[in-house]
Amino acid sequence: MTALLTDRTAGYLESEVRAALGTVVDPELDEPITDVGFVRSVTVRGSAVEVHLRLPTSFCAPNFAWLMVSDAHDAVSAVPGVGSVVVELDDHHDSDLINRGLAAGLGYRGTFGHEAEESLDELRATFRRKAHTAAMERALTGLLRTDPGADVAAVTLGDLPAGEHTTDALLRRRAALGLPVDDGAPVLLHPDGTRPTPAEAPMALRRARSVRVSVDGNAHFCRGLLTTRYPGSEADQTPRPEDRPLLPLTVSKGTQP
């Protein structure tokens, strides 16, 4: 009976750990590391948890790798019932350096020394802005499919379908950037958060589409690289929503105020 309870507890804890890992996002792909198959294994022994991560290539950018490994460590450490936590990155050219630095609590700069010149905070902010732009384009393109004549410069958050995946994703990314999330807030924004004029709207949407295509293309490419490097890893990937054909980028400019 004790063994059965222990197995159930370990199973529950592993489920909670995997859910926590699902909150960790690849900054470039804007997808959870659990969805893209980057979680190689999760082992639970009592309250001790060991997680191994893998990446599509051995030369993925060290700063991206550090972000994912350290975020995974923080996420797992916050799970109730978890005691000791080991998170390691496998098969990367900086695996030993990253794993040692994380285990010693050295942080990014303490681990990479003079090589860690750029700010991880700015890196996070850059990719959060890209993720918001891609989510914004998806939401507007979805609306244009149902209403091709919509004036995208005038569309507000309240005009988007409530509870739809693309709407919820957009709201989360806006909140992360501190952008307005009220129903009256405009959907289409420049990267700096300002609202395009009706005359600027078509070009703003085109630029947003180029960002979204880049994000989606990288995601598809990295998924393929991972399955090539680790045969069978496709079983650990969550299928992406079926891509729909792009719409012509002829949109109404509305009326200049």
Query: 179-204, pLDDT tens digit by residue?
Result: 999 999 999 999 999 999 999 999 99
Residue among 191, 176, 188, 199 at smallest CA distance from 143:
188
Q: Which pTM does this prediction carry?
A: 0.84
Model confidence at 116, pLDDT cuts 50, 70, 90, reads: confident
The runs of H, that is alpha helices, within the chain are: 2-21, 62-77, 95-103, 107-112, 120-146, 165-177, 201-229
Mean pLDDT, range 96-102, rounded to an integer: 97
Distance CA 113, CA 58 (A): 21
Q: For residue 216, what are its two tokens?
A: 């989606």
Model pLDDT, residue 191: 92
Give the domains, in start order, of the chain with CATH numbers.
Answer: 2-115 (3.30.300.130), 120-236 (no CATH)
Nearest partner of 229 among 40, 66, 33, judged by Cα: 40
Q: How far apart are alpha carbons 119 and 67 in whole angstroms?
A: 11
Tens of pLDDT along 67-87?
A: 999 999 999 999 999 999 999
Judged against a pLDDT cut of 90, whether residue 254 lies above it is answered with no
Q: How many CB atoms lie within 10 A of CB 24?
A: 24
Q: What is the mean pLDDT of residues 6-30?
A: 88
Helix (H) or strand (E) holding 1: none
